[in-house]
Amino acid sequence: MSQLQIPANYAPLLNLKQTELGIKNIKDFFQVNLSSELRLRRVTAPLFVESGTGINDDLNGVERPVRFPIKDMNDKNAEIVHSLAKWKRLTLADYEIEEGFGIYTDMNAIRADEELDNLHSLYVDQWDWELVIAEKDRSIEFLKNIVMRIYAAMLRTEYLVFELFPSITPLLPSQITFIHAEELLQKYPGMDAKQREDAITKEFRAVFIIGIGAPLSGGEPHDGRAPDYDDWSSLNSDGYKGLNGDLLVWNPVLEKSVELSSMGIRVDAASLKRQLQARGKDDRLSLYFHKRLMNNELPLSIGGGIGQSRLCMYYLRKAHIGEIQASLWPQEMREEARQQGVFLI
């Protein structure tokens, strides 16, 4: 069943040629600014990793990776990445990146279990980044500082789009609002998580929700998070659990909140063990990535992903991510979109 939602009277502000020009300029400009803000060098990333190593991102722990056998490796299985959360940390160690510096890459993934709609595609493209930090930087204050620097790059990119296409006026506020998921629950006790996100983002237009993954006072987490990359179980200076979060903006076309980035301070040995135990995943401690982390062979880090197509979709005021990227969509969705004047690439 099609999950397509096209707003009434929606008409793209840009034609196909203008859209492609906008996509190129946004991607070129933003990644340069991100690299400059966080002192990141670009590296080449894998499309697939070996199965059974614990390197692939498990997302919420239920999504199935796309697997295939490798003929010249005795049919050993490889799997398309979901994201590069753990691979990046291994790369920081292997490249001997110094404290205060990091890496970024173009990550391309296939998520076959995505429920396809205006914001979700089988194809995921994002900038994955990772920064080496010191023990003293494992704090909520440091996380907020990194978020504000990324947001500064977003503000500059928004103005670039306005210069290219004056009909697209800037909407982002000058400052991003921070709120912990528990505070958000107390603010909107009668709403579910998505409704709370919509309410807070509609009010402030750009929000960073802290503490994604740990159970809240209602017994459930705000949203799912794998136990072996972000640290969502450590207490922070605000008295709440979580050194991670999601960056959301208010999408004026769809009139809902849209997550553009997920990021966080990564687990150390203590929080990795604690979070694996909490999820009943202690068996992962025998995997390649987890053993290297427990043996203190990996640097402390902060990292995240920033959705490229979603960022372009927001800046160019598009109603569907398929107006930005080429992917596969149910035929009924394509036909319904075409009838409403929306061309899915």
Residues annotated as catalytic (active site), given as ranges:
57, 111, 126, 246, 259, 262
With H, G, I as helix, E, B as strand and everything else as coil, classify residue 102. strand
Which residue stretches of 205-330 are H helix? 269-278, 288-294, 308-315
Chain center to CA of 193: 17
**Strands 48-50, 76-80: parallel, antiparallel or unpaired by DSSP?**
antiparallel
Distance CA 90, CA 13 (A): 42
How many Cβ atoms sit within 10 Å of the Cβ of residue 7? 13
Return the bridge partners of 49, or none: 79
Distance CA 266, CA 268 (A): 7
> Residues 271, 277, 279, CA angle at the centre, nearest 5°?
105
Return the bridge partners of 305, or none: 128, 262
Distance CA 322, CA 316 (A): 13
Which residue stretches of the chain are H helix? 16-38, 85-94, 140-164, 181-187, 193-204, 269-278, 288-294, 308-315, 331-339
Nearest to 142 by CA among 245, 215, 225: 245
* Distance (Å) of CA 285 to CA 28, 32, 159, 198: 39, 37, 46, 37
The per-type count for the chain, helices as H runs and strands as E runs, is 9, 11
Return the bridge partners of 76, or none: 70
Half-sphere exposure of 241 (CA within 13 A, CB side): 17
